[in-house]
Amino acid sequence: MALPKVIGTETEYGIAAVGAPDFNPVLASSLLINTYAGALRRIRWDYEQESPLRDARGFEPVQVREPTEEDMGLANVILSNGARYYVDHAHPEYSTPECANPRELVVHDKAGERILERSLLEVDRILPPRQRLNIYKNNTDGKGNSYGTHENYLVDRQTPFGRIVRDLTPFFVSRQVFTGAGKLGFEATWDDSRSPAFQLTQRADFFEAEVGLETTLKRPIINTRDEPHADPDKYRRLHVIIGDANMCEVATYLKLGTTALVLKMIEDEFLPDLTLLGPVAALHEVSRDISCTTHIRLADGRRLSAVQLQWEYLEHAKKYVQQEDAGPGHAELLVRWEAVLSALEDDPLSLHRELDWVAKYRLLDGYRERDGLEWSDPKLRLIDLQYHDVRRDKGLYYRLEKSGKVERLTTDGEIERAVTEPPEDTRAYFRGQCISRYQDAIAAASWDSMIFDTGQEALQRIPMREPLRGTAAHVADLLERSPDPTTLIDLLQG
């Protein structure tokens, strides 16, 4: 039986400055995070268990990764909601706490946007006059550089990695039809002779390999990083680097929910072989077809559109849920998945309330027609970027949301709670509660441990190797009975 799918996202936000000729994105990102974090800056991130160069194909790291000066700096904090907020590759990055279902993940992904928005407000108070920072939840600077939005899924260690590659590659190539954030133009170095004005995704241009460990060069469809942040004998953490940064809640929900369900089917050997011929080329072709009708070649000789390929996955998912796993939330996910695929078949542009690429395309096309602009006009590039602005009074996505033109799955109240409160049904609850209650006694933390300094000779490490333990059901009473960290540790060890 497949494992429950604990999930999370990591989003590198775009950062830019106005009125700052000496702008340094690393320093600006650090300022942004440290200003928001306040006293939490003193809790360091624990790198002892990290191994980003270990490869799921069985390769040993080519070198031992030593924490960099950037890593060890102050701009790397753990928040009371269980999330991590830090500088990565000159970007502010927000990693959600672990979530046990896709809807909860949508809430905490949106909480990240609120945290970046509030960070901007705090920084604005201390910047010199006429200087300001802007933050965008997108994946490209329009100058040939891309930054990531990564997904993470708990996977059974016993599942052969080759099967994950076989069954997940066609899914990732085809899911672009609902996960894409939309993009004006192209930035690829490969054949651009038939590049359109607009494409489905921001990330497809930057992928060049089928399988690999890289995340910044020669990016692969399937990333092989083997860093579980959990019991390594039982679990993998599938690190997915091929998704876009979504603003639309429905798109985020489908991206995480469908992928988690497909991974369950892979673990239970429920899928047929849908191997593609030339998946990297197919990835580019799907992204560059807003009609969603381009056919891509399968190894068995068939030619299917991305939508037809998604129907293959959906039909097997229906049978799987009926026969193997009628878990909570699956029925709702299947209904939503089917409705979106049906609309993509009939009229993709009807999905402007649900999908980012459609909402953005209609927005750009409206401005283009109104003002008589060519698709290459710089004004449209600014509109493309402004769609992703995290400020609710400036971002064009948020203007659509305010006017009721995009569909919500969450409430503002839920998002506000998630800014400070962790999910209650994963180990993030224990981490977040400890940060809230005992922050002065926490020396360091990571995804799978907390290190306490209780004044004793030795620091006390509390391991957290099980992502579905440390929940409110497991530890809420224990925390209530622990007025201080020493009592907590005694109760845990008793």
In the chain, the domains with their CATH numbers are 7-415 (3.30.590.20), 424-493 (no CATH)
From the CB of residue 312, how many other CB atoms can be counted at a distance below 10 Å? 18
Q: What is the pLDDT of residues 422-481, one digit of tens each?
A: 999 999 999 999 999 999 999 999 999 999 999 888 999 999 999 999 999 999 999 999
Strands 207-212, 219-223: pairing kind:
parallel
pLDDT at 193 over 60: no
- Give pLDDT tens digits for 384-395: 999 999 999 999
Reported as a pLDDT band with limits 50, 70 and 90, residue 377 is very high
Q: Please indicate whether residue 124 is annotated as part of the active site.
A: no
User: What pLDDT shows up at residue 58?
Assistant: 67
Of the chain, the percentage scoring pLDDT greater than 70 comes to 93
Mean pLDDT of 44-55: 72
> How far apart, in whole angstroms, are the C-alpha atoms of residue 448 and residue 55?
20
**Residue 460 to residues 362, 431, 432, 454, 479, Cα–Cα distance (Å):** 55, 15, 18, 8, 17
- Dihedral of CA 205/314/336/223: which sign? negative
Q: What pTM did the predictor assign?
A: 0.95
CA distance 284 to 445: 40
Q: What value does the mean pLDDT take over residues 116-139?
A: 95
User: Catalytic pick from 55, 88, 384, 389?
Assistant: 88
Which residues are 296's β-sheet partners? 304
